[in-house]
Structures are given as C-alpha cells and as structure tokens.
Amino acid sequence: MSSEIAISVKALSKHHLMFDRPEDRLKQMVVPRLQRLVRQEPRRYFRDFAALTNISLDVRRGETVGIIGRNGSGKSTLLQIICGTLQPTSGSVTVNGRVAALLELGAGFNPDFTGRENAYLNASILGLSRAEMDNRFDSIASFADIGDFIEQPVKTYSSGMYVRLAFAVAINVDPDILVVDEALSVGDEAFSRKCFARIEQIKERGGTILFVSHAAQTIVQLCDRAVLLDAGEMMLTGRPKTVTGQYQRLVNASAEGAAEIRTQIVAMRDATISRVISAELPWLGSESEDEVVVDNSQAPRNEIEHREALSNQILESADSFDPSLVSKSTAYQEERGARIRDVRILTVSGEQVNVLRLGRRYFIEYWTDFSMDATRVGFGIGITTTTGFHVAGAKCRASRVELAQAGSSLRSRFEFTCLLLPGHYFVTCQVRGLPEVDEVPLHRIIDAIAFRVTEEDETLAAGLVDLSMVVTVDR
C-alpha cells in the first residue's frame, strides 16, 4: 500500500446468517453435516443477508471522508471492519497508523471502575503507555468536564457524563486516523461544539478522519470527499455537496420511488466513470470492458483534483430538479371561489427547479382559477423552515387585481434572489380578496412545495440568510 494511503479497502463484503427461530441455529450446526454423510443435499436453515457488497475505497493521509446513507445501508458495519472489531466475509482492509474509534462510546468501560481507571484502561487499549497517559490525563478530565465524578464508579454516571468521558479519552490520544460514527450527536450543544472544535484541530494537524453522519450539512462542513452507501453497496463517491444531494433524493423518496432513484444514481456514477476514462488520463486503466480500475495513489495530487472536478461537474448537471423532493406536510384550506394550482420554482430561463443555489435569481409562480367574481384580489407567498419558522415572503397587499372574473385564471410570479443558506424550506401560497363584502382568504395551500438550497463549499455566512457581511478589524 502506498505511504500516501491511510486506509485501503479492497472488494470488501460482509454477510450475516439470519435465523427465523433460535432452534434453527442448532439445526444448521448439525443437520447439514448428517445429510452430507448420507449423501443428501444439505438443507439451509438460514437466510443470507449481505450487509456490505464488494466495497472498495482508498482514503489518503490527511483526508477527511464522510460516509452517508439511509438506516441499514452498512455504514456502521464498514467502520467496525475498518477498526478491527468485526471480521469481513471476504475482501481486505489495510490501515496505516494509530486508530482512535468513536463507534459505541464507552463500550469498553467497566461499570465498577472509576472514571480515572476506565480512562487509563481505554488509553492502554488505544496504545498509550502509562507515562503518556499521565501526561494527558488532565487534558482528558478537563475535556470531559465531569468534575469530581472522575473519581467515582462510572455506574453512578448519567448517560451524558458517560459519553463525555468516553469521547474525551478517544479524542485526546492524538490519533493518526480518527473514525467517528454519529458520535457528535450526543451531549448538549456546548459539548457538541467542543467536539467539533477538537476534530477540526486533528484535521488541521494532518490527521485522517473517516466520518459517518446523517447530517448532510455536517458532511459538507467537515469533509473533503463523501461516499454514499445504500443497501450495502457503494453508490457514489465525490465532492460532499454532490453526494449529499443524491442522499437527500434517496431519503426523501417513497418506497416505490427509491428503486428508480437508485437506478438513476448508478447510471450517473457509471456515466461519470465512462466520461473520465474518455479524458484519457494516464493512470486510469481497464482490465476489461466491464471492470474499471482507478488508482488514485499513483496520480499527482493536482491531477487527482482535476479528475474529481471533472466527475463532480458531470454529476452536478442533474442537481437543479429533484423529483423525490416533495412536501409531505401540504395542507389545503377552504376554497372560497378560488383555487391555487401548479405551484413551482423557475430559473430566469424558465427551467423548473427545486434545488437552488445561493445568490441566483428565481421565480416562484402559481396559477389561480376563479369560480366566482372577486375584487381587490391579492397574491402572496411565505417561505418557512422545516420547524415552521417564517423566513421571508410577500404579503397579499403587495399585489392587487381590481377584478378577477368567474371562469378566469391568473398567474402570479414572485421574482427573488436566493439569499437563504443551505437547508430545506417550504413555500406557502395564499390568495385574498373580496368575494362579497369583507376581505377573506380565497384559498391557501400550506407547504405547497418543498425546496432546498444546496451546500456551497466556500460559504462563510451562518444562520438562515446570507447578509453579505464585510468584516474589518481595526487596531
């Protein structure tokens, strides 16, 4: 393995035997052997479950790679095999460097030992000597911040104290390779910020990080590259915002639509590989027409980046509209002589989209059909977050039509610049007017459509909206 490669996974597969009843496990141990002795076809009392299928992945030194996927996709299984706590069915894993794993935090703690004793025990498992641990213990205790409880048995700890100590031990051993499996979701907000800061320090020092999370924004924030796993298969690898975009398509899909989306992602991946090969880069080779071998370790760093940029440019061409991104919280209010339909977002060139880019111009438009005359008709929209927080919009009184006749249809358009930061948002539409005497809502659709603002690698703004801040520092 090249010295530039920290983790090398080759053709890795992991299969589990699934038994319907406890007695089937015993039968599987005995009956097939007896059947073979009498030359009968052995019967199987189990079902084969493929947790991982033919996974190949190289992680370079100093690289931060994020792994994302739906529940049951094989993410944790892959990390356990890399860390050596689980054996693969086939394939190989080579790890070059000291590994600190944040898998099941505190899994090796003895409940009758004190926090100090468990810290020393875990540090010895991770390869630290007693003298090294003496020098680091104060830092670990300070990071855990559990006070005098460090001298008490861990069975007296709350769950929060337990994971604080476990994280503090694992992350303060100065690992060459840090493996993190959703560990940052534990603890309170202040502790999570501390954990992120420590991981950033490891990254800045040149450490290698393998990171699993369901949070797309965290993957984009921390990682140089991302891998999408689904049903034990490696579906896609590339720039984080590209891969997380395809993950969001999968996670938002119905059971029927997921199969079609998987097919589309595989087609995109295969098309990317095919086009990269056509670029005739010298370190790309093909052993056959069906198997492509890509060896990053032999390529110059700038050429690797060129190839990845080419791959991501191809993948991102389909990112403007995601058919699986639909609102599941749509609610229709009573119609009072009007009906809203065909709500959509368009680019300035007229292309329908629901994956938006920061700083670009768009239109939100919808049609309203009138079944009775209405006067002083106004059209409005609202944009909300997933928690229902109202971010922006246009009030109905901003647009007025003096008369909308029965049988007519009117289109309302709202042009805007997308200043929203990455995340998921919903559009609510409303029409108000005077069908009789008082102004009332003629029709309203809550969360009519969903859209997301895609992640940007170099976005420095924080919160919900980009205010285009200019920062100066004076002496």
Place of tokens 């009789």: 436
Contact 17, 29 (CB under 8 A): no
At residue 15, the pLDDT reads: 87
Residue 57 bridge partners (DSSP): 9
At residue 354, the pLDDT reads: 93
Contact 296, 60 (CB under 8 A): yes
The residue count for the chain: 475
Looking at residues 170-196, what average pLDDT do you find? 72
Contact 54, 232 (CB under 8 A): no
Render the burial of 67-98: b for 16+ CB within 10 Å, e for the rest.
bbbbeebbbbbbbbbbbeeeebeebebebbee
**In the predicted model, is pLDDT for residue 87 greater than 60?**
yes
Contact 431, 396 (CB under 8 A): yes
**Best mean pLDDT range from 102-106, 226-230, 311-315:** 226-230
| Residue range 50-81, pLDDT digits in tens | 889 999 999 999 899 999 998 888 888 898 89
Residue 287: pLDDT band with limits 50, 70, 90: very low
At residue 289, the pLDDT reads: 34
Looking at residues 248-275, what average pLDDT do you find? 75
**In the predicted model, is pLDDT for residue 303 greater than 70?**
no
At residue 188, the pLDDT reads: 60
At residue 365, the pLDDT reads: 97
Contact 152, 115 (CB under 8 A): yes
**In the predicted model, is pLDDT for residue 105 greater than 60?**
no
At residue 83, the pLDDT reads: 83
**In the predicted model, is pLDDT for residue 187 greater than 50?**
yes
Antiparallel, parallel or unpaired: β 208-212 and 47-60: unpaired
Closest to 143 in 3D by CA, of 110, 173, 114: 173
At residue 460, the pLDDT reads: 77
Antiparallel, parallel or unpaired: β 64-69 and 225-230: parallel
At residue 107, the pLDDT reads: 57
Q: Amino acid identity, residue 190?
A: A
Instruction: Give the distance, in angstroms, between the CA of residue 119 and the centroid of all CA atoms in the same chain.
Output: 32
At residue 274, the pLDDT reads: 59
| Residue range 19-30, pLDDT digits in tens | 878 877 888 788
Domains, in order of start, for the chain:
5-97+176-318 (3.40.50.300), 331-453 (2.70.50.60)
User: What dihedral angle (degrees, nearest 10) is formed by the CA atoms of 56, 60, 65, 71?
Assistant: 20
At residue 275, the pLDDT reads: 58
At residue 186, the pLDDT reads: 55
- The structure tokens listed for 430 are 């409303």
| Residue range 331-377, pLDDT digits in tens | 888 888 999 999 999 999 999 999 999 889 999 999 999 999 999 99
Cα separation, 218 vs 249, in Å, equals: 17
Question: How distant, in Å, are the alpha carbons of 16, 95, 118, 210, 261 from that of 107?
Answer: 22, 22, 11, 19, 37
**In the predicted model, is pLDDT for residue 277 greater than 70?**
no
Closest to 456 in 3D by CA, of 419, 414, 416: 419
Q: How are strands ordered across the β-sheet holding 208-212?
A: 99-102, 177-181, 208-212, 64-69, 225-230, 233-238
Contact 17, 48 (CB under 8 A): yes
Cα separation, 456 vs 220, in Å, equals: 8
Place of tokens 């060896």: 295
Lowest mean pLDDT among 102-106, 365-369, 435-439: 102-106
Looking at residues 197-219, what average pLDDT do you find? 82
Averaged pLDDT of the chain: 81
**In the predicted model, is pLDDT for residue 190 greater than 70?**
no
Residue 214: pLDDT band with limits 50, 70, 90: confident
Contact 172, 140 (CB under 8 A): yes
Q: What angle do CA 129, 130, 133 make, to 5 degrees?
A: 85
Residue 324 backbone zone (phi > 0: left; psi -120 to 50: alpha; other: beta): alpha
Closest to 185 in 3D by CA, of 105, 101, 120: 105
Lowest mean pLDDT among 245-259, 268-282, 440-454: 268-282
Q: Amino acid identity, residue 26?
A: L
In DSSP notation, 163-182 reads HHHHHHHHHTS--SEEEEES
Contact 150, 118 (CB under 8 A): no
